[in-house]
Structure 1
Amino acid sequence: MTAVTASAPDRSPADGVGPKNRVRLDVWITYWLFAAFYTALSVGVVFFGRATPPPRPDVTDLQVAQWFDKHQWSIQAGFAVLLVLAGGAAVSNGIIGYFMKRMSSGSLLAYAYIAGMGVGAIPGFHLLLVCWLTATFRPDRDPAIQHMLYDLGMLSYNGSLGCFTAAYTVLAIAILYDRNHIFPKWFAYISIWQIVTEVLATQMWVFHSGAFAWNGMITFYVAVVVFALWIVCLLPILRNATKAETAHTPPLYPAEVTR
């Protein structure tokens, strides 16, 4: 039996095209798509969809109908665009999972992270868009039904907990057990704080007002600060990891055929 390995011809770094001088273009493209998606998401939910900062939960059917009427066009414009761009969530999960597979903690946690975030994106993002677009699709709909869509969208958007908790948990474990230094260890502790905010957010399913409501200081604003910090830290971490990815980096699956 012989092993045949596919490899590029060796070249000297002096010729300017050697392995150490070629970047992984696919990884760079995915990184910038990650950054663009979160930028578009922030603009869409803040300035168009009006979901962040969140509207009040302690409102009447009539007040909800008036609120949808007031923001009908911005919700339809912003959320329709986000529905088109929603696949960016998969790209964002993919690049993190890609680097998790480079960790010595193994591939299983990477797959668990991708699965947790992928499942969580449906109630945590898509359902809000669908509910509020449905509410604005027929402005003359019964205000009580609009109120149900209003509640369902916000409780799903802010209160989808389990999948994200699982994803942040496996990410933190992977980083702490990693010996390849793909992500810095301190980022694991920021991810653990993400878990804490998800647990605190369970109270929004009970309270209609105050610090524990879906627009409350504890359940929402603390979570937003921690999530913003997580993203702000993740961007340069992914950038540094991407810069280290060159054609010289060993592939995840070496091109070997044994016969």
Structure 2
Amino acid sequence: MTDTDAAPAEEGAAEPAKPKRAGKREVWLVYWAFTVFYTALSVGICLLGRATPPPRPDVTGLQAAAWFDEHHLGIQIGFVFLLVIAGGAAISNGIIGYFMKRMSSGKALAYAYIAAMGVGAVPGFQVLLVCWLTATFRPDRSPDILYLLYDLGMLSYNGSLGCFTAAYTVLAIAVFYDRNRIFPKWFGYVTVWQIVTEIVASQMWLHHSGAFAWNGMITLYIAIVIFGLWVACLLVLLRKAAGRETGHTPALYEAEGTR
């Protein structure tokens, strides 16, 4: 037998075992960080900070100052806590971008999603925390200044539309064009409804009360239901996607994921 005849047998003997279909530890770590962050966000924003459901927009400066005085302790505890864990937003965006890069729609949309959500975190999250913590830091300020911080925080939090509209748009496009079936197509339609709620929410800049105000049924509560549904679906789909992850990149990803 020649050396060339023996080579295939040697190669076959050295063939590595098929990897187990289990999630990478770092992927699961980020997945659970995503879950914990959104749970903590809900507690800080809703139960302690009282930003959701929000206070009324049709109030006077004195009423806004009185509201801060009534809820100052919850705002300080909840929002300082959220500032400490604010980086969790980037981690949450990162795992979505990670799986978007595995889609056949290409990496550019994944980077666009991460960038848009990263920019949107400032007006959609940080500004509210800073404004309301500033208001509670010196409660003896003029009611007019507290009134400004009251409005600025809420309008930034609920009315920061463009960045999130762009992020949801590129995510929906990525899901619709993906042939690797990382996320099902129906999730793309759920994401489209996120875009619709962002567009409808633009009316809060024009109304002080009613269905289109920042605490209105159309601009807020319908949006909360759709966002809650979107996050719930995303948690399930990310868990399934993480479960499919292995220590090696699947051949389908290698063939199509870089197109």
Q: TM-score, structure 1 length as denominator?
A: 0.90
2:30 and 2:246 mapped to 1: Cα distance?
Answer: 14
Question: Could you say which structure has the larger radius of gyration?
Answer: 2
Match of 1:213 in 2: 213
The Cα of 1:20 is off from its aligned counterpart by: 1.6
Query: Which amino acid is the alignment partner of residue 147 of structure 2?
Result: H
Match of 2:123 in 1: 123
The Cα of 1:38 is off from its aligned counterpart by: 0.3
Aligned length: 240
Match of 1:84 in 2: 84
Can you give the 5+ residue segments of structure 1 that lack an aligned partner in the other structure? 1-8, 14-18, 254-259
2:239 and 2:15 mapped to 1: Cα distance?
Answer: 27
1:146 and 1:12 mapped to 2: Cα distance?
Answer: 65
Q: Does 1:95 find its partner at 2:99?
A: no
Give yes or no for contact 1:103–1:180 (8 Å, CA) kept in 2.
Answer: yes
Give yes or no for contact 1:20–1:248 (8 Å, CA) kept in 2.
Answer: no
The answer to which structure has the higher helix fraction is 2
Match of 1:195 in 2: 195
2:242 and 2:65 mapped to 1: Cα distance?
Answer: 47
RMSD of aligned Cα (Å): 1.4
For residues 37-70 of structure 1, what are the alpha-carbon distances to aligned partners after superposition, in whole Å with 9 as ceiling and x for unaligned? Answer: 0000001101000000010000011111110001
Query: Which amino acid is the alignment partner of residue 60 of structure 1?
Result: T
1:239 and 1:78 mapped to 2: Cα distance?
Answer: 28
Match of 2:242 in 1: 242
Give 1:150-189 correspondences, 5 Å limit: 150-189=150-189
SS at match of 2:20: helix
For residues 80-106 of structure 1, what are the alpha-carbon distances to aligned partners after superposition, in whole Å with 9 as ceiling and x for unaligned? Answer: 000000000000000000000000000
Query: Which amino acid is the alignment partner of residue 111 of structure 2?
Result: Y
1:30 and 1:208 mapped to 2: Cα distance?
Answer: 40
The Cα of 1:22 is off from its aligned counterpart by: 5.1
2:189 and 2:17 mapped to 1: Cα distance?
Answer: 42
2:178 and 2:198 mapped to 1: Cα distance?
Answer: 25
Can you give the 5+ residue segments of structure 2 that lack an aligned partner in the other structure? 1-13, 255-259
Match of 2:25 in 1: 25
The Cα of 1:108 is off from its aligned counterpart by: 0.4
SS at match of 1:71: helix
Q: TM-score, structure 2 length as denominator?
A: 0.90
SS at match of 1:20: coil
For residues 145-171 of structure 1, what are the alpha-carbon distances to aligned partners after superposition, in whole Å with 9 as ceiling and x for unaligned? Answer: 000000000000000000000000000
The Cα of 1:12 is off from its aligned counterpart by: 3.4
The Cα of 1:11 is off from its aligned counterpart by: 4.2
SS at match of 2:121: helix
Q: How many percent identity over aligned positions? A: 70
Picking from 14, 17, 20, the partner of 1:12 is 17
